[in-house]
Structure 1
Amino acid sequence: MNVHQFGLVLIIGLALAPPPLAAEDGGGGILPYRDAGVVAQGQELYADHCAVCHGAELEGEENWRSRDADGYLPAPPHDASGHTWHHPDSQLIDITRRGIEAIVGNGYKSRMIGFADVLTDAEIISILAYIKSTWPTSVIDRHNQLNATADD
């Protein structure tokens, strides 16, 4: 292949390449919720590490808005009925890495541990991508708008 042919192949390849994630989701988000492979991995990891508290169907625990006798809030749902989508990607990743108590501080009590010593960043992102992939389009659109605002 000569240099001109290589250049033509490179130009065609760039033209056919998918856009970067930020352009794809329109919100500058970093969760690859449209990547079937990442979402499948995230679904498996969610089942292994998250479903025990947040539910196999992302439904959360009962009465998740009311503190229990020990002062803890039950695990919230990650489906559209919860508030996961109210937080930008970067905050969701941070919460998963460090845990709720570390994020909120001031003696806030939570059973949500940080997973930084359990899961890699790529695994955390795949779990969150799986969660996001289950939301209705209207919720995904709102979450993408939130990400765009958070990036400003």
Structure 2
Amino acid sequence: MSAVSPGSMVTGLMAGVGMALLFGVMDASAKPENLTFLEKPLTPEQIALGKDDYVEFCASCHGSNLEGQKNWKRRLDTGRMPAPPHDASGHTWRHSDQELFAITKFGVGAVVPGYESDMPAFEDVLSDEEIIAVLGYIKSVWSDEEREFQHNLNLKDGRAR
């Protein structure tokens, strides 16, 4: 049995504390208080409401883990596309806040004229605040890189400063 010196114990403890701090800092950007929609901060309460509404109105098609429907890149027999994932494997983060809001509220045809989708418009189902909360919840699962990419789209869209 080898003896452990006090110096190696301190070194190990410091390394553990350093790793905890590093992961804490890295994870800080994913916390709800750092999320925005059209550059307005989203609160943890909004994110929680968004999750609840997502589960109730969106998860049946887009998946409880935001994974989307199987083979979401392949057209259905109806000619329409399956529900895409909202996580990193999908393309939701490749749309500006304004586009995501319009798609959710008015339907895909509001952004892509003539496009037919199985996703209904939610203007008579969810308030604007609830739509923003759902989109905030979706954004809360994205990585820093995805949020930065999407933020830059907002800048190009002229809605962010």
Shorter chain as normaliser: what TM range?
A: 0.7 to 0.9
1:144 and 2:151 correspond? yes
CA distance in 1, matches of 2:119, 2:60: 12
1:4-43 equivalences under 5 Å are: 29-30=38-39, 32-33=41-42, 35-43=43-51
For residue 128 of structure 2, the aligned residue among 98, 109, 121 is 121
Q: Which residue matches 2:29?
A: none
Q: How far does the alpha carbon of each residue in 1:41-85 deviate from its partner, in whole angstroms, 9 at most, with x for none?
A: 100000000000000000000111110111111000001111111
Q: Which runs of 5+ in 2 are unaligned?
A: 1-33
After TM superposition, give the deviation of residue 101 of structure 1 in Å: 3.1
After TM superposition, give the deviation of residue 30 of structure 1 in Å: 4.1
Q: Which residue matches 1:84?
A: 92
Cα separation, partners in 2 of 1:57 and 1:140, compared to 1, 3 Å: same
CA distance in 1, matches of 2:154, 2:133: 17
RMSD after superposition: 1.9
Q: Which runs of 5+ in 1 are unaligned?
A: 1-23
Cα separation, partners in 2 of 1:28 and 1:102, compared to 1, 3 Å: closer
CA distance in 2, matches of 1:150, 1:103: 13
After TM superposition, give the deviation of residue 40 of structure 1 in Å: 0.5
Q: Which residue matches 2:80?
A: 72
Cα separation, partners in 2 of 1:63 and 1:31, compared to 1, 3 Å: farther
After TM superposition, give the deviation of residue 31 of structure 1 in Å: 6.1
After TM superposition, give the deviation of residue 109 of structure 1 in Å: 2.2
After TM superposition, give the deviation of residue 148 of structure 1 in Å: 1.3
CA distance in 1, matches of 2:37, 2:53: 24
CA contact (8 A) 1:28 1:148 kept: no
For residue 106 of structure 2, the aligned residue among 82, 93, 98 is 98
Q: Provide the TM-score with structure 1 as the length reference.
A: 0.76
For residue 52 of structure 2, the aligned residue among 44, 48, 61 is 44
Cα separation, partners in 2 of 1:128 and 1:31, compared to 1, 3 Å: farther
1:132 and 2:139 correspond? yes
Aligned residues: 126
